Homo-oligomer: A and B are copies of this chain.
Amino acid sequence: MAQLRRDPITGRWIIVDLENPKGPGDFDIEVNQKKGGTCPFCYGSEHMTPPEIDAFRTPGTARNTPGWFTRVVPNKFPALQIEGNLDRLGVGIYDRTNGVGAHEVIIETPHHHKELNDLSPEEVLHVLLAYRNRSIDLKGDKRFKYLMIFKNYGRSAGASLEHPHSQLIALPFVPKRVTEELKGAERYFEYRDRCGYCDMVHQEMEDKERVVCQNEDFIAFAPFVSRFPFECMLLPKEHASDFSQIEERKLLELAKLLKDLLSRLKEALRDPAYNLLLHTSPVENIYDISYHWHMEMMPRLTQVMGFEWGTGFYINPTSPEDAARYLRGDGPKNTSS
């Protein structure tokens, strides 16, 4: 059983894995090692994963056999476990609780060598539908307060398997960084009586210089406050706090824009590792008017240094305006201040 721990000073929570603890010899300090063996996410390896939770399939094909387009399975090495209750207790000045939660893997496609940007919009739609449907399902479990969907692409972004996949973690509380956003957005709303993200969308559409791509329903831009080079934000133009309530027609538009954004990234930066995150409202959505769901896309181009860790203050060597230009294909422009 994993253990959750809370820092009495910062309020930060962590998960400690007590079941598969790593020793000094267990770390891959070397990088770019070739892996051998069979891929557990390819057709014909369905028995290598835990039994599937959900899948989009060719009609007539059986569960846990080939014939699927997108397949959802429990993570074989979950950070949190689905069974059990939350038992909170004090340990001296510290607090801890059991590691109860869900940790699922969304296998995006049977094609080992295709990435999201290589798929058709309809294929990407299956992935997004899986995100949505799993969210709706897990919201029924009252132990879960927050659902985090994310994708790590490439080893330096934390991916341990090459085969295209996303992950979903259901947490027994709303995590710190999300709370910061929720509270910050709430303060913004209280002050201006408007959603801060809606304001951002309007300003970016007006300024244009940080916009990467858009369609009628969605926009992707390099945020004014980008922590990392080529970081992008993708969000609905119309206010919406809860991703799981999105309708299928809009999901297809999202699929198109996401494919476009990732293709631009691959083109401009020679297929970099990246993290993709979905930030949506918590299960108990008391932030409907002030929060606005969004995706964050962060290519892993630089090492995060001690300074960033120590301060929460990031040094970004590429202006978002330049990043957007590169991603639009306009090329760089001189930006002396």
Complex CA–CA separation, A3 to B318 (angstroms): 11
Flag if A9 contacts B177 (CB, 8 Å).
no
Q: Of residues 1 to 25 in A, which have CB atoms within 8 Å of B's CB atoms? A: 1, 3, 5-24
- The B-contacting residues of A in range 192-225, CB under 8 angstroms, are 196-197, 199-200, 203, 206-207, 223-225
A185 part of interface (Cβ distance < 8 Å): yes
| Cβ-defined contact, A148 with B311, below 8 A | yes
Closest chain-B Cβ to A83's Cβ sits at a distance in Å of: 14
Partner of A224, one of B5, B229, B335: B5
A158 at the interface (CB under 8 A from B): yes
B196 engages A8 (CB within 8 Å) = yes
Mark each residue of chain A from 93 to 127: 1 if its CB lies under 8 Å from any CB of chain B, else 0. Answer: 11000000000000000000000000000000000
- Chain B positions within 8 Å of A18 at CB level: 319, 335-337
Contact A158/B305 with A12-B225, A227-B12 known, Cβ cut-off 8 Å: yes
Asked if residues A313 and B171 are in contact (CB atoms below 8 Å), the reply is yes
**Given contact pairs A18-B336, A93-B203, A335-B21, A309 touches B7 in the complex (Cβ within 8 A):** no
Q: Does A31 interact with chain B (Cβ within 8 Å)?
A: yes
Check A276 for interface membership: any CB of B closer than 8 A: yes
Kindly report how many copies of this chain are found in the complex they form together: 2
Asked if A303 lies at the interface with its beta carbon under 8 angstroms from chain B, I say yes
Q: In the complex, which residue of chain B has the Cβ closest to the Cβ of A94?
A: B224
Binds B, one of A44-52, A234-242, A254-262, A267-275: A267-275
- CB closest residue in chain B, given A296: B310
A169's contact among B13, B229, B307, by CB below 8 Å, is which?
A: B307
A332 within 8 A of B: yes
Which residues of chain B have C-beta atoms less than 8 A from A79's C-beta? 307, 315
Tell whether, in the assembled complex, residue A318 and residue B171 are in contact, meaning their CB atoms are under 8 Å apart: no
Do B269 and A24 touch (CB < 8 A)?
A: yes
A24-B268, A335-B21 are known contacts. Are A9 and B305 too (CB-CB below 8 A)? Answer: no
Q: How far is the CB of A132 from chain B (nearest CB, A)?
A: 18
A136 interface residue per 8 A CB criterion: no
Chain B residues in 8 Å Cβ range of A296: 309-310
Closest-CB distance, A116 to chain B (whole angstroms): 14
Q: Are B335's CB and A305's CB within 8 A?
A: no
| Minimum distance in angstroms from A218 CB to a CB of chain B | 19
A64 at the interface (CB under 8 A from B): no
Check A310–B279 contact: CB distance below 8 A. Answer: yes
